[in-house]
Amino acid sequence: MATSTNEKIFNLKFPFEHRGATYVEFKARRPKVRDLRNFIKNVDKEGIVAMEKVLADLMEIDTAVIAEIDVEDFGPMKHWFESFLEKMTSESSES
């Protein structure tokens, strides 16, 4: 998993095909406040759907593609996004 300042690259352990396209890696941009706001607004209703939606937004792909990702590959993506939530909540509790 290579990292740059503005994006995160997830190399898949379990590449897959979906609608004629082969997926071996995903690039995700860093979340913006609007991404966090949309996720927090929807997480109580449907947690996994909210995570799929925010990751699809960050990777600029359809949620149908996210739904096809192997669970083992999905875990690091979920953890990466959640690390931004942890930073946000720890900073607000320090104020």
Percentage, residues of the chain above pLDDT 90: 66
Task: Report DSSP letters for 16-70, one per residue.
Answer: EEETTEEEEEEEEEPP-HHHHHHHHHHHTT-HHHHHHHHHHHHHTS-HHHHTTS-
Enter the tokens of residue 43: 């997480």
pLDDT in tens, 8-23: 999 999 999 999 999 9
Name the pTM for this structure.
0.83
The domains of the chain, with CATH numbers, are 7-94 (3.30.2220)
The larger pLDDT score, comparing residue 79 to residue 95, is at 79
In this structure, are residues 29 and 6 in contact, taking their beta carbons and an 8 Å threshold?
Answer: yes
